[in-house]
Amino acid sequence: MFWKRFSPLEERLLNEVRKVLPVETQPLFDAQVSAINHVQRLPPSWSEIDFYCRPDWRAVSLFPCTDEFRLAEVKFRIAGLSYKAVLSSIKGHIFDFAITPGPKAVAFEPWEPEPTSVLLRDPLGAPTGTREPESLPLQWQNFLAQRSGDPPNGWVLYDATTAYRVVLNDAQYLILAEREGPEFILHRVESSGERLYYLRHHDGIPEPLDRELETVMR
């Protein structure tokens, strides 16, 4: 590797995020970027890029909002393909980019003109003490509303405040339920429909769920 800390892709993304931050936030952001001394790029396609300050962030200037939230979104194009990167913040500092599709193959390529960047939440706001709620598909909302008692057969069910995002096969999914083994029920975040997906194990491929949820959770 010929770069010291950040790949050209990461440098460009961080610069784009900085442009949309409130002016008073930029010194905090700059201090956090300067403090990053380890970058983890998840294989195989760098669909998630994590930033760390080792041993910890205690000596670094932090955002007033210490919630876990999505800070900013950057949309860009390389070689005719569209990409979206979302930078998240946790405990008052930037943490990771979730990028779809995975950008590893184009990390050193020039961007096409006019990327667009949007601030998703003001990091100067007061913390709420809760995670940013997710938008659940109606089918899953109805399933949760109809259930009572313990979850079925070892499944852990998530609602809008506990469901969490992962990037799989160059797409971002919301994990709605999981069972040790492991098995997962998912929803594709940017899908326009209500379709749910089933993932048999960590290394598998999400499959459209064409069966009733009750039959999967037996």
* Cβ pair 173, 185 in contact under 8 A: no
Distance (Å, whole) CA 38 – CA 50: 8
pLDDT digits (tens, 9 = 90+) for 25-64: 999 999 999 999 999 999 889 999 999 999 999 999 999 9
| 129 residue type, one letter | G
* Cβ pair 21, 118 in contact under 8 A: no
HEC states along 27-83? HHHHHHHHHCCEEEECCCCCCEEEEECCCCCCCCCCCCCCCCEEEEEEEEEECCEEE
What mean pLDDT is predicted for residues 147-157? Answer: 80
pLDDT digits (tens, 9 = 90+) for 63-117: 999 999 999 999 999 999 999 999 999 999 999 999 999 999 999 999 999 999 9
* Cβ pair 60, 32 in contact under 8 A: yes
Using a cut of 0.75, tell me whether the model's pTM lies above it.
Answer: yes
What is the token pair recorded at 180? 């040790």
* Cβ pair 82, 115 in contact under 8 A: no
Average pLDDT, the chain: 92
Segments making up each domain of the chain, as ranges: 8-119, 138-216
pLDDT of residue 1: 42
